[in-house]
Amino acid sequence: MELVWHGEFERLFAQYFPHGWQLIPTFNPPTDGWRIFKDSAKVRFSCQDCGHGWTSMKGRVIFWFNLNYGANSGLVMFKLYGQQCQRCKNGKYEHAMWYPEEVVKVLGNVYNRVGQIYYGFVRPPLRIDRRAGKPRNQHNAELCQACKDGLCREEWSFS
């Protein structure tokens, strides 16, 4: 799946030549001076302890980005938020498995946001569609890492 993230990122952000952009996963948000963009997608989880699997329509990703004009380089850092297993309730956040089309969607959204801020794009419409699904349960904020961090509200952030 890492190839999908980096491949799609390279395909999109190569268009921002002469600036070279990098995509870097992180567990900790960067310090001041970064722009932020958050998005949601349909993702899949599987508990490493009991094997229970579930789908969430609220898989959350947060992007932080910054362009250094002097170095002709930009950096996009991102964090993929997890969820706890409702069967085990072991306190561990499981990593989300992302569907390729959802990766393409959120990277396209952050690409357009970067374009708006640094390259003069008119605010393009966000893709808010998600892969089809019928969740069996309501979103459980008690088990959601993004909710715990105050980042799971159903709005899209543009700062």
127 within 8 A of 108, measured Cβ to Cβ: yes
User: Which residue(s) pair with 36 in the sheet?
Assistant: 64
Note the pLDDT of residue 136: 64
Q: What is the pLDDT of residue 32?
A: 85
Burial class (CB in 10 A: 0-12, 13-18, 19+), 131: middle
- Give the ranges where the chain is alpha helix by DSSP (H): 2-13, 100-119, 145-148
Q: What is the pLDDT of residues 16-73, one digit of tens each?
A: 999 999 999 999 989 888 999 999 999 999 999 999 999 998 899 999 999 999 999 9
Angle between helices 100-119 and 2-13 (to 10 degrees): 30
**Phi-psi region at 135: left, alpha or beta (left = phi > 0; alpha = psi -120 to 50):** beta
The length of the chain, given as a count of residues: 159
Q: What does the pLDDT read at residue 129?
A: 61
pLDDT in tens, 93-127: 999 999 999 999 999 999 999 999 999 988 766 76
pTM of the model: 0.87
Q: Reduced to 3 DSSP states, what percent helix, strand and coil does the chain have, rounded to the nearest 5?
A: 25, 30, 45
| pLDDT for 87 beyond 60 | yes
pLDDT band at 156 (very low <50, low <70, confident <90, very high): very low
Residue 142 has pLDDT above 50, yes or no: yes
What would the two tokens of residue 40 be? 């949601």
